Structure 1
Amino acid sequence: MSATPVTPAAEDVRIPREIWVLIASAFVIALGFGLILPVLPQFAQSFGVGATASSIVVSAFAFFRLVFAPAGGRLIARMGERPIYLLGLVIVAISTGATAFAQNYWQLLVFRGVGGIGSVMFTVSAVALMVRLAPPTIRARVSSAYASAFLFGGILGPVVGGLLGNLGLRVPFIVYAVALLLAATVVGVFLREASLRPADGAPVLPVMTVRDAWRDSAYRASIGSAFANGGANFGVRNAILPLFAAVVIGKEPWVAGTALAVFAAGNAVGLTVAGRMSDRLGRRPFIIGGLLISGVATAVTGFATDLPMLVVFSVVAGVGAGALNPAQQAGLADIVGRERNGGPALAAFQMSADTGAIIGPILAGALIDFGSYPLAFGTTGLITLLAVIPWLRARETHVVARAPQDAPRS
């Protein structure tokens, strides 16, 4: 009698209901977040500051995420994912509502920065839940579905936000605060049971420390690609692209909203392909390909001279980022596994992305003030391309794609 367990095909495995609730909430969060993307840099500049100072507003949000990430992980371990998830949403909602009524640049900086504390709380909570609840054979599909919800919200959000910006730069922030409270209500109602926590008396999972994870070549490569992705696609694109669109094409908020929306649309295409194919072919091809495509498209963005050209560059960059993200998230789940508590390793990964999101906009803003937009986007794209190098030597994490003789660690 064979001792080998029979594993259902990935196509036959369904996404758990709890994850669908998180996916629905992600859509609402992203929709609201997308509302403020086209107007945040211009709102900052309405207080009489330059590109560097307006970029720091974006970096401040990521800075607070970075600083609070370790404490957020400890709170999750002590109180559970659901309470911290809900508390995080409420904190961001309050800070966003306060941002709408900021009277000067420094109030804007503080209010927006404090929102980063709540953001890292619900982000790490959601990732920890998905790592634990997602069946191993469909990890990339789960990551793709979760990211797709963000993207569909991200496609619609900037367009609506650009239109709302015509009613006043403060209006999108008020709507975003309401959207976050709606997301908190959805999670609070549909995940009100305690089933997300381990049962009483269940064995405590061993903790994967950052030192343990660092021995894995794939984890080391993930830290580098997280930094590059955070800097390019969460930092520079959100902080600099709206300013670039306003200077080169037009100051109307819908112009920047269009560029951000088509980036999200390209992202959705990349996610759809990589979300399923990386469960069959492995993580590395999509991570490496995504970094290459995203890096090149970002590097040439600064040379766009009209809206159609900017749209093309944004779509291609979005496809690359979309191919990267689900494969990278699934690879991280492969590394941690379901038999260990990966809180510290997951927090370090998130901190690397947030560090990129802090440094990227500040560096790009300085390059713009003392150089040019092409220099800023070109440098950002080069950093993304350099993140490919560690992945060329990293192991393949997916058990389906990995050859039996491959060592689990390198």
Structure 2
Amino acid sequence: MDRVSKSGKSGDFSLWSIAVPAFGPSLLFGIGEGAILPVIPLSARDMGSSLAGAALVVALIGVGSLVSNIPASLITAKYGERRGMVGAAVLSLVAMLSCVFAGNLWMFAAGVFLIGAASAVFNLARQSYLTEAVPPLMRARAMSTLGGVGRIGLFAGPFIGALVIHLVGLSGAYWVAAIAVTAAGVLAWWLPDLVSADGAAPVGPRPTIAALLATHRKLFLTVGIGVLLVSAVRSSRQVVVPLWADNLGLSPAATSIIYGLSGAIDMLVFYPAGKVMDRKGRTWVAVPSMALMGVALLLMPLTTGAVTLLLAALLVGFGNGIGSGLVMTLGADYSPRNGRAEFLGIWRFLADTGGSSGPAILAGLTAAVTLSFGIAATGALGLAAAATLGYWIPRTKPVQR
């Protein structure tokens, strides 16, 4: 097996040296997830679920990821990043097949939950691998590329799934995903082994989750809160555009076009943003990203038609796109070498908590007040995230290597 060496200098390292084995699995995993996300509620409905039940089944992906982050960190710490990704691909394949051959709604729901759990293991292992493999001076570019290729996969997946569904029916989406995650596992198996230029791994017992929480308590309560807010805004943006478009009376086709164009601009700006973070610092992207999303969401309730909504949606997509890899980069910056996987598990738990709470806050405020108020409140969360990260990132010192 080839080996890749990490050093503190970026001049002797190229992302191309690990591009296919490091980023390829993320692209394939994203295609698999993208293929099934639009059809999960349809499959649940076919099995007799109510609308509310179908929404709950979809939410099980997020629940599976949330509760699996800490176990995923322990698995990665014990078996290594490469084996963690391969194991996640195998678990995801089992989950996809469970969905295809589910005899009832409960079995199908269990398969969806396992998809989320596999995603947690895979995402944590790939982040941990790149943190170790890439020099700190190129870290943001690596993480933004990682986030970007995942988004490309999520964007392409529904189109590939739609083609196969047209040929073989609804189960075709799950077969697309099964093939994609299998290919991701095969590529992950050929990841180069890590040989760090920082020397041998730290000697002694690995810190426990409780010890890491105590040691980095201030960080989790400052930058960590900012990360939670970032994830809440990002997850909410996915439902804001369709809901407001429906509120304006736009057709489903117009809504899809607006949503798709927002996603397209999201994908186009990830690498330049990573270069800015590497050369200027994290706050140069963190603050503008969340400020732009916050302002765009505050303006969205003022839109009155397709054109103005499109402009607001494009601004949301641009703001989200330039922040690609931000949460992963910050997690990598602050992670200690001894206990890195466990630290990243806590970090991802914070992010997933925000991701789960964002749509819930939006739904609660919409039910209690109005949709426009809920969207504006989400925009205010974006501005709060910008202020929190802008204040605390320069005042908290990342781990030096």
Q: Which residue of 1 aligns with 2:113?
A: 113
CA distance in 1, matches of 2:181, 2:297: 30
The amino acid of 2:278's aligned partner reads D
Encode CA deviations 1:211-266: one digit per residue, 9 max, x unaligned.
323334xx544322332233332x334466556667743446x954x455433322
Q: Provide the residue aligned with 1:135 in structure 2.
A: 135
State the Cα distance separating 1:130 from its structure 2 match: 0.9
Aligned length: 384
Quote the offset at 1:279 in angstroms: 1.1
Measure how far apart 1:272 and its partner are.
Answer: 2.6
For the aligned residue pairs, the C-alpha RMSD in angstroms reads 3.6
Distance in 2 separating the partners of 1:368 and 1:54: 20
d(CA) in 2 for partners of 1:91, 1:100: 14
Q: Runs of 5+ in structure 1 lacking a partner?
A: 1-5, 398-405
Taking the TM superposition and a 5 Å limit, the aligned residue runs for 1:110-259 are 110-161=110-161, 168-188=169-189, 190-191=190-191, 195-196=193-194, 202-204=200-202, 207=207, 209-216=212-219, 220-233=221-234, 235-238=235-238, 248-251=249-252, 256=256, 258-259=257-258
Q: 1:224 to 1:103 in 2, by over 3 A?
A: farther
Equivalent residue number for residue 333 of structure 1: 332
Any idea what SS the aligned residue of 2:15 has?
coil
Change (3 A) 1:177 1:159: same
Q: 1:276 to 1:37 in 2, by over 3 A?
A: same
| Distance change (3 Å), C-alpha of 1:110 and 1:407 | closer
1:82 matched to which residue of 2? 82
**Matched residue SS, 1:29:** helix
**Does the C-alpha gap of structure 1 residues 178 and 260 become closer, same or farther in structure 2, counting only changes over 3 Å?**
farther
Identity, in percent, stands at: 21
Separation (CA, whole Å) in 2 of partners of 1:317 and 1:239: 12
Aligned to 1:403: none
- Give TM-score scaled by structure 2 length: 0.80
Q: Give me the whole-angstrom Cα distance separating, in 2, the residues matched to 1:255 and 1:140.
A: 33
Runs (4+) off by over 6 Å: 406-409
What is the distance in 2 between the residues matched to 1:163 and 1:244? 29
1:18, distance to aligned residue in structure 2 (A): 3.8
Please identify, of 322-331 and 158-167, the stretch whose mean Cα deviation from structure 2 is larger: 158-167
CA contact (8 A) 1:249 1:305 kept: no
User: d(CA) in 1 for partners of 2:185 and 2:68?
Assistant: 20
Indicate how the Cα distance of structure 1 residues 154 and 375 shifts in structure 2: closer, same or farther if over 3 A, else same. same
Asked whether the equivalents of residues 27 and 152 of structure 1 are also in contact (C-alpha less than 8 Å), the reply is: yes
3-state secondary structure, aligned to 1:353 = helix
Residues 29 and 259 of structure 1, relative CA distance in 2, 3 Å threshold: farther
Q: How big is the shift at 1:26?
A: 0.9
Unpaired runs of at least 5, structure 2: 1-6
Query: How does 1:389-404 map onto structure 2 within 5 Å?
Result: 389-396=387-394
* 223-232 vs 301-310, which moves further: 301-310
1:163 and 1:314 map into 2 onto residues whose CA distance is 27
CA distance in 2, matches of 1:12, 1:260: 41
